[in-house]
Structure 1
Amino acid sequence: MMQFQFNSDSSVMGTENVAERIEVMVREKLARFEDRLTRVEVHVSDENGSKHGADDKACTIEARPRGGKPIGVTDHASKVDDAARKAANTMAQRLDRLFGKGEKHKHEPRPDKVL
């Protein structure tokens, strides 16, 4: 079972159920990797604090593959949920590449070209 940990700074927690929403969304995006990951940590923050700014919400996701090095990605957006969605998509792509490497070598060798 993959562990899930959510961390945020105080300025982001104003939103209703932000932790639950983001956990559900990240788990959905990474569901196909769940048996290969021991833990996923999500950190959300507002880099400008009380000041408003474009793309000042940050979401960092760290995934820990079983027996491998942790992988981290960070994305920014003007809303926490959007930053988390972007980071989850990026993480899914990184995990596809990481885990896909082993799968790719299982196909049949390409026949030599005949001229």
Structure 2
Amino acid sequence: MIIQINTDNNIEGRQQMAAHYESVLADALSRFSSQITRLEVHMSDENSDKKGTDDKRCMLEARVEGLQPIAVTAQSGTLHEAVSAAVSKLKHALDSAIGKLKQY
């Protein structure tokens, strides 16, 4: 599974953060690693320097062999919470899509 992390210019410490989240995502999605060929991660701070709630956004797009790409999005007050929520949504979507694929 190839993991590509993209951030907007409003995210600080991009390189260290990318390495951290790459390992977090690889661990969280390890049971799907044989089916996922590529995982694209897009992180952004919607409000930039302005204060606001739920302004951190994480979009995950999993490319699964034999299926259309599966994308989920989550927003929260911190990047960690947004990534966690997006991973939970992606796990649910992958369980559903791969389960349907196995039925046929």
* TM-score for both structures, normalised by structure 2: 0.91
After TM superposition, give the deviation of residue 19 of structure 1 in Å: 1.0
Preserved CA contact (<8 Å) 2:11 2:45: yes
Based on CA coordinates, which of the two structures has the bigger radius of gyration? 1
Cα separation, 2, equivalents of 1:52 and 1:16? 24
Alignment of 1:1-115 (within 5 A): 2-14=1-13, 17-103=16-102, 105=103
Distance 1:16 1:78 in 2: 21
Q: Identity rate of aligned residues, in percent? A: 38
Contact 2:57 2:79 in 1 (8 A): yes
* Root mean square deviation, CA, Å: 1.7
CA positional deviation for 1:102: 3.9
Structure 1: which 5+ runs fail to align? 107-115
Q: How many residues align?
A: 104
Q: Hey, what's the Cα distance between the residues in 1 that align with 2:36 and 2:49?
A: 35
